[in-house]
């Protein structure tokens, strides 16, 4: 199972270059997409999900040309967008049945069994006959994952899926996605860098519409070993460091500044080495 993206580019009117020659090769498992606001993640995900056109480039899912054969691709696709509207008067059971039908599950019995299975999985079976309009944010997200997973998609795309979920719901959500990723490609976009490190065996960082890094999160961090330094500094020292060193990030702790620096050599007295984390890579690459 492979998703191949070649030379994908998209420019919006107003000359915003949202994607610039994006090349990615993604295999089965969880794939993390990391990028600052406006980096191009949603544009990339919507284009893969056949919901918008790129200006140029290719997308192939195994032997299917996703750009030319959207109808075939959609049968293999599950998509949970960042914001998704619901039909407030519908019940989750009815809506899931309709989605299952659209995904090609024509047998009534099979459809009912499948819908019950997913409702149970996302903990919505008890409320299957309530109107979606009365659902909380967390319930809506859980419904979102059920509609994305139904029909055993080969490719599942989830765009910032955990916004608004409490810690328990977030863990459940990721467990469901991880299980699905044993048999599918799951593309996960999130701003929560540690989640990507914990969950994904492959990832990419996008900056200004370009892929600036792709690989296994732990392996991507290896070149940063022994190169991340930190020190508590005053405001004045911090201003000076920003002029003279490669400051990648800082934390404010009880009024003090903890400055993180990327450097081959010790940046000055009192600095200590820290084990690099994905956040460091993210800040270095997006500069």
Ligand X SMILES: Nc1ncnc2c1ncn2[C@@H]1O[C@H](COP(=O)(O)OP(=O)(O)OP(=O)(O)O)[C@@H](O)[C@H]1O
List interacting residues with ligand X (CB under 6 A): 12, 14, 16, 18, 35, 37-43
CB of 139 to ligand X, least distance (A): 23
CB of residue 33 to ligand X, shortest distance in Å: 8
- Exposed/middle/buried for 63, CB within 10 Å: 0-12, 13-18, 19+? exposed
Choice between 41 and 111, CB closer to ligand X: 41
Residue closer to ligand X by CB (options 42, 172) is 42
Residue 52 CB, nearest approach to ligand X (Å): 8
Cβ nearer to ligand X, comparing 18 with 132: 18
**Considering the complex, what minimum distance in angstroms separates the CB of residue 212 from ligand X?**
13
Of 18 and 157, CB closest to ligand X? 18
Nearer of residues 114 and 204 to ligand X, judged by Cβ: 204
Q: How far is the CB of 68 from ligand X (least distance, A)?
A: 23
State the Cα–Cα distance between residues 261 and 267, nearest whole angstrom. 8
């Amino acid at each position: 199972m492979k998703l191949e993206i070649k030379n994908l580019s998209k420019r919006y009117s107003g000359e915003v270059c949202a994607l610039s020659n994006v090349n990615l090769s993604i295999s089965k498992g969880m794939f993390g997409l990391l990028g600052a606001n406006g980096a191009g993640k949603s544009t990339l995900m919507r284009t893969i999900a056949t919901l918008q056109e790129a200006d140029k480039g290719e997308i192939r899912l195994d032997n299917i040309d996703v750009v030319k054969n959207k109808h075939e691709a959609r049968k293999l696709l599950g998509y949970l967008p960042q914001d998704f509207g619901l039909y407030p008067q519908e019940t989750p059971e009815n809506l899931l049945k309709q989605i299952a039908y659209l995904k090609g599950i024509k047998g009534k019995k099979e459809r009912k069994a499948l819908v019950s299975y997913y409702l149970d999985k996302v903990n919505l079976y008890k409320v299957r006959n309530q109107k979606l309009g009365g659902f909380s944010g967390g319930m809506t997200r859980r419904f979102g994952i059920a509609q994305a997973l139904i029909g055993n998609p080969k490719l599942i795309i989830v765009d910032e899926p955990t916004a608004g979920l409490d810690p328990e719901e977030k863990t459940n959500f990721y467990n469901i996605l991880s299980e699905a990723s044993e048999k599918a490609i799951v593309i996960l976009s999130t701003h929560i860098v540690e989640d990507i490190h914990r969950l994904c065996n492959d990832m990419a960082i996008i900056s200004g519409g370009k892929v600036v890094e792709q690989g296994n999160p732990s392996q991507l961090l290896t070149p940063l070993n022994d190169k991340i330094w930190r020190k508590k500094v005053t405001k004045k020292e911090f201003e000076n460091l920003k002029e003279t060193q490669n400051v990648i990030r800082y934390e404010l702790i009880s009024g003090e500044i903890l400055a993180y620096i990327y450097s081959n050599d010790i940046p000055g007295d009192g600095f200590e080495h820290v084990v690099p984390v994905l956040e460091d890579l993210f800040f270095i690459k997006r500069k």
